[in-house]
Chain A
C-alpha cells in the first residue's frame, strides 16, 4: 500500500522544466514551509516531488538603479536583511520580517509565498503596492503577470501546474516615495495576519501623485484597493481625506469570519490601519524633488 514516491532535484531551470514537461503531476517544493505542513503525517499522499531548491538562477537578487529583480528562491530573511532593499522598499523588508519566526524566514521563499496564494501572504501586499510583475517559466515558454492580477482565489493563481515562478520584478518609484506595511496578528511572532495593509505613496509638490494600497487577509486574494486609491489620488498631503478613505477601504474589503478573526473586526481594523499608516507615512521624511 505504500507507494514509491518520485523525488527529483534538478540543478538547472531547463532540466526542471523538462521534468515538468514530461509529467506535470510533480509537486514543486521550495522551502517546504507550506507544503510540508500541508502533508504533515501524510507524506504518502504527496505523490511526485520536484525539489527546486538547487536552481541557482532562482536565488538571485538583482538591483540595477531603480529596477529590482528578486529570484523566486529568495528567502524572507534575505529580503529583510538586504541593505539596498531596506533603503529602497523598507515596507517590503518590514513585511518579510513579520513572517513567522527566524526558522521560517530562513526557509520560506518569495516564490512559495506567491504560489501558495494565501490571502494572508505577507509579501503580497507590498509587492502589489510597488507594482511588481511576477515571472513564470514553463515547458511552453515564459509568461508574466501584474501581481495584482495573478491571484484568483485562496490557494489559486493563474499559474499552470507545469510552470515555475522564477521571480518578481519592479521599479522603485523615483522621487518622494513613501511606504509602510502594517500587520495585525494574534501575537508578536509566528502569527498569520488577521489583517495587513501596504501603503505606497509617490508624492510631488505636496500632493499624492500616485498611490497604491494593498491589503492582506481581508478578501479571498491579496486585495488591491483601487477605489480607495482614487479617493487619495491627487490630494494634498496636509489635507488627506483620511476618514473618507478609511470608510471606503472598509467597504472595499470582503473579509470572512474564521478562527483568527471576525469579518467585522477585519474590516474595522483595516480602516484603522489606513488611518494609522497614513499618519505614519505623512510623518516620514519626504525626499526632496531635486535630491
Chain B
C-alpha cells in the first residue's frame, strides 16, 4: 500500500501562523499592569561576594521589588543533572552570568536603570579559563570538592566527572599497525543564536497555589520538575504553557528565565515578564562545549584501522548543566562510523569560570565528528589513499560494533551515503586542488554517525493522547516541543496516515504541562522516533476503537467497512457514519473515542569501566557530505561553493522536513567551520553581540543538494530515524578537509579564519622560495 502522507513533501502545520505573524512567542505577551524583571549579573567571573546592597534601587519610583540571595534563603539550587547552580548567588560568583539581584519594576526602562543603583562589594579570586589549568590539583576550587566522583591526581573541586571506554587491547592493535597517527584537535565555545532571545511571563494564583508560566522550553515536564523543586512547590503547582518557540538548538533545554519569573510572580503577586537581551543571554546561557581531543590511531598500509585511543577533555564552564553527558557522548562517538577492533578512551568534564556549556545540536557528537573526520583525513593523506575510499574501506556495515559495543543489526546506510554522495557530486578519486583566477578550489569529504535518543539506560519515553472531537476532528495531545524542526507536522502526518483522513482534520493541542503528557525533550534527535512512534501507536489504537464502535453500530465486521476521510464507509453501499457521529455515540455509551500511545524502549547503561553495553542507543543516523570550497589567495577568504549532503534517515516521514534540516545543518556547520567562536578571555566574553559574533547570512549560502538514503527498518515509525542533529555533523569537517585539499594546509581547530589561511599560505610560499 502506498502512503498518502508519510514520505511526502508536506507543508508545515505551523507555517501559516508563523509567516502571518499570528504565532505568539513568549516575548509577545503583553498586559497593561505587568511587572518587568531585570537581573544584575556578576561583576567578575570568580569573586567572593561580601555584600549586595539594593537599598538605593528600592527607593527608585516604579521599582516594586529588589531582592538578593538573602531575601530568598528558602529557594533551592537548580540544574539538570547536578543541582549546582544558584538562583541568586550567595557567597561567590563562578562566571559572568551569575545572578546577584532581581529587580521588578513598572517599566523595563526603570528595571534596567535600577540595576545601576545596586552596590556590590566583592573580592576577585583567581579566574580559571583553561580546563587544563582547572584540572590541575593546585588550581583553586570553583565548586566544593567532591571526592567521591574524582579521579586521583585531579582537582576535586573542578573535575566534574570522567568516563571510560575500552574494548579489545589497544597495545596489541598498535603493535599490528604500520603507522601510528597522533593529533590534538580542538573546538571552541559556540553560541546557538536561536532567533528569539529567552523570555517568559508568569502569574501566581494564590487561591489555587498554581504558578502558570508562558515560556519556551524543549521539555515541559523536566523544566517543570526543576522549577518546582527550586521553589519548594509540588510539580502540579507549576504549569508551563508552551508558546511558539523561536528556535532552540539545545539552548532551551536549560533553565533560563523560568525560575526567576516563577519566583517573582509568587513574591510580587503580579504578572511578571522577563526578556533577556542578546548580550545577556550570550554571556549567561549555555554554550557548545569546547572540547580537546587527543587521538592516537594505528593503521595498516592497506588502510585498515587497527587501534584507536582517545582522550577527551570538555570545558563545561561554571556549572554542569548537561555537561557530563555531552562530554561523554563526545567520547562514545570518538571513532565515528568506522570499524575499530581495539579501542580505549577516557573523557574528563571540567569546571572553569567560563560561561557554562550544555546541550547544543549534536551534544558532543558534533565536536567528535570534527575530530574523527579530521583524524580520518590525516590518516588518508598519510597513507596516500583517497579520503573517500579510505572512509568506505572502514565504514560500518551490518554486524559492525560501535564504540559502546553495540552490534549494529539494522539500518546501516553509511556506505550508501558515501556512494550516493560521490555519484551526485561527480567525485574524482585522488583529486587535487585547482587554481582558477587566483582562487584555489578543493574538495572535502566527511561522514558521521549519531546515536538517536538519550540511550544509555536513561528513562526515555513519549506519550501521545488522541481523541475524536465533537466536530469529528482528531485532537492530538503531545508535549513534544516544535522548536522549528517540524515534529508537530510529523505527528499530524502519522495520525492522518493511520486514520486515512485529511491532515486538516488533525489538530494539535498546545503543549501544556497540565493538559499534555510527557514527551521528553526535543533533543537527542529523538522526537520523530519517540513521539512519532507514540503517535502511531495511539492512532492504531484509536483506529481499533473506531472499528469496534462502528462494528457495533453497523452490525458488520470491519473487513466490510473502511475508515476514510473522516467517515466510516460500508463498502459497496451508501451507508456511512461520520467520525463526529461515531464520537457522539461513543461518548453517550460512556466509552469515548480516545486512545493513548506510549513508546518507552529499553536501552542499557554502559558499563562504568569500559563503556560497553548491548543496546546503548535505539538507532544510529549516518550522514555524508562532499563539499567544494574556493579560497582567495590574496585575502585567505574561503567561499563554500557546493555541498552534496546525503543522510541515511531510515525512512523519510516529511521530505521537505529532512531537506530543511539538512540545509540548516549545513549552514550551521559552515558557521562553525569558518566564523563562529564565542571568545571568552579570562572568563569574559569579548563578542557578546551579533555584530562581532558572526553567523552566516543568506549570501554565504552555498549550493546545497540533499539526497536521502532510506536504509529502512530503524526503530522509528515506518522504519525512520532522526535527522536534526546528524544533519549538522559532517558539515564543518567537510569544509576544513576541503581547505586541506585546496591548499595542503591542515587545520586542527575551528573556526579557520582568513587570517590563519593567509598566514599559512604565505609561510609555505616563503619556505618553497
Residues of chain A touching chain B, judged by Cβ–Cβ distance below 8 Å, are: 1-2, 41, 43-44, 101, 184, 186-192, 194, 259-262, 264-265, 268-269, 272-273, 275-276
A44 x B699 contact (CB < 8 A): no
B697 x A184 contact (CB < 8 A): no
Query: In the complex, what residues of A have CB within 8 A of residue B754's CB?
Result: 184, 186, 194, 265, 269
CA distance A275 to B636 in the complex (A): 14
A272 x B697 contact (CB < 8 A): no
Query: In the complex, what residues of B have CB within 8 A of residue A272's CB?
Result: 634-635, 758
Contact with A along B79-116 (1 / 0, CB 8 A): 00000000000000000000000000000011011000
CA distance A44 to B60 in the complex (A): 16
B109 x A187 contact (CB < 8 A): no
Query: In the complex, what residues of B have CB within 8 A of residue A43's CB?
Result: 109
CA distance A268 to B759 in the complex (A): 9
Which of A1, A184, A189, A275 meets B637, CB within 8 Å? Answer: A184
CA distance A192 to B690 in the complex (A): 12
CA distance A184 to B639 in the complex (A): 13
A259 x B686 contact (CB < 8 A): yes
Residues of chain B touching chain A, judged by Cβ–Cβ distance below 8 Å, are: 60-61, 109-110, 112-113, 277, 438, 634-637, 675, 679, 686-687, 691-692, 694, 696-700, 753-755, 758-759, 762
A187 x B694 contact (CB < 8 A): yes
Query: In the complex, what residues of B have CB within 8 A of residue A276's CB?
Result: 438, 634-635
B697 x A190 contact (CB < 8 A): yes
CA distance A8 to B109 in the complex (A): 23
Shortest 6 CB-CB distances between A and B: which pairs? A188-B699, A265-B755, A272-B634, A189-B697, A189-B699, A276-B634
Query: In the complex, what residues of B have CB within 8 A of residue A184's CB?
Result: 635, 637, 754
CA distance A265 to B753 in the complex (A): 10
B692 x A189 contact (CB < 8 A): no
A187 x B759 contact (CB < 8 A): no
Query: In the complex, what residues of A have CB within 8 A of residue B692's CB?
Result: 259-260
Query: In the complex, what residues of A have CB within 8 A of residue B755's CB?
Result: 261-262, 264-265
Closest to A262 in B: B755
Closest to A260 in B: B692
Query: In the complex, what residues of B have CB within 8 A of residue A265's CB?
Result: 636, 754-755, 758-759
Q: A44-B113, A189-B697 are in contact. List 7 more A-B contacts (CB 8 A).
A: A41-B112, A187-B696, A188-B697, A260-B692, A265-B759, A273-B634, A276-B634
CA distance A188 to B753 in the complex (A): 14
Query: In the complex, what residues of A have CB within 8 A of residue B697's CB?
Result: 101, 187-190
B699 x A1 contact (CB < 8 A): no
CA distance A39 to B745 in the complex (A): 44
Which of B277, B679, B691 meets A192, CB within 8 Å? Answer: B691
CA distance A190 to B687 in the complex (A): 16
Query: In the complex, what residues of A have CB within 8 A of residue B691's CB?
Result: 192
Query: In the complex, what residues of B have CB within 8 A of residue A273's CB?
Result: 634-635
CA distance A224 to B691 in the complex (A): 27
CA distance A291 to B558 in the complex (A): 90
B698 x A189 contact (CB < 8 A): yes
Q: How far is the CB of B57 from chain A (nearest CB, A)?
A: 11
Q: How far is the CB of B678 from chain A (nearest CB, A)?
A: 11
B438 x A187 contact (CB < 8 A): no
Query: In the complex, what residues of B have CB within 8 A of residue A41's CB?
Result: 112, 277
Query: In the complex, what residues of A have CB within 8 A of residue B60's CB?
Result: 1
* Known A1-B60, A259-B679: A187·B699 in contact at CB below 8 Å: yes
Query: In the complex, what residues of A have CB within 8 A of residue B762's CB?
Result: 268
CA distance A166 to B366 in the complex (A): 53
Query: In the complex, what residues of A have CB within 8 A of residue B758's CB?
Result: 265, 268-269, 272
Which of A44, A188, A192, A269 meets B109, CB within 8 Å? Answer: A44
Query: In the complex, what residues of B have CB within 8 A of residue A194's CB?
Result: 754
Query: In the complex, what residues of A have CB within 8 A of residue B109's CB?
Result: 2, 43-44
Q: How far is the CB of B519 from chain A (nearest CB, A)?
A: 37
Closest to B635 in A: A184
**What are 24 A-B residue pairs whose CB atoms fall within 8 Å in the complex?**
A41-B112, A184-B635, A184-B754, A186-B754, A187-B696, A187-B697, A188-B699, A189-B699, A189-B700, A194-B754, A259-B679, A259-B687, A259-B692, A260-B692, A261-B755, A264-B755, A265-B754, A265-B755, A265-B759, A268-B758, A273-B634, A275-B634, A276-B634, A276-B635
CA distance A101 to B700 in the complex (A): 13
A187 x B675 contact (CB < 8 A): yes
Query: In the complex, what residues of A have CB within 8 A of residue B753's CB?
Result: 186
Q: How far is the CB of A185 from chain B (nearest CB, A)?
A: 9
Query: In the complex, what residues of B have CB within 8 A of residue A261's CB?
Result: 755
Q: How far is the CB of A184 from chain B (nearest CB, A)?
A: 5
B635 x A269 contact (CB < 8 A): yes
Closest to B686 in A: A259
CA distance A268 to B109 in the complex (A): 45
Closest to A271 in B: B634
CA distance A189 to B694 in the complex (A): 10
Query: In the complex, what residues of A have CB within 8 A of residue B698's CB?
Result: 189
A191 x B113 contact (CB < 8 A): no
Which one of B60, B438, B634, B686 has the greatest number of beta carbons of chain A within 10 Å? B634
Query: In the complex, what residues of B have CB within 8 A of residue A189's CB?
Result: 697-700
Which one of B110, B687, B694, B759 has the greatest number of beta carbons of chain A within 10 Å? B694
CA distance A41 to B60 in the complex (A): 19
Query: In the complex, what residues of B have CB within 8 A of residue A1's CB?
Result: 60-61, 110, 113
CA distance A188 to B636 in the complex (A): 14
A186 x B675 contact (CB < 8 A): yes
* Known A184-B754, A187-B699, A259-B692: A269·B636 in contact at CB below 8 Å: yes
Query: In the complex, what residues of A have CB within 8 A of residue B700's CB?
Result: 187-189
CA distance A43 to B113 in the complex (A): 11
Q: How far is the CB of B36 from chain A (nearest CB, A)?
A: 13
CA distance A44 to B679 in the complex (A): 30
Query: In the complex, what residues of A have CB within 8 A of residue B636's CB?
Result: 265, 269
* Known A44-B113, A259-B679: A191·B637 in contact at CB below 8 Å: no
Closest to B636 in A: A269
* Known A44-B113, A187-B696, A188-B697: A269·B675 in contact at CB below 8 Å: no
Query: In the complex, what residues of A have CB within 8 A of residue B277's CB?
Result: 41
CA distance A211 to B699 in the complex (A): 33
CA distance A190 to B109 in the complex (A): 29
CA distance A191 to B60 in the complex (A): 41
CA distance A264 to B753 in the complex (A): 13
Q: How far is the CB of A122 from chain B (nearest CB, A)?
A: 15
CA distance A170 to B268 in the complex (A): 64
A186 x B635 contact (CB < 8 A): no
CA distance A25 to B695 in the complex (A): 38
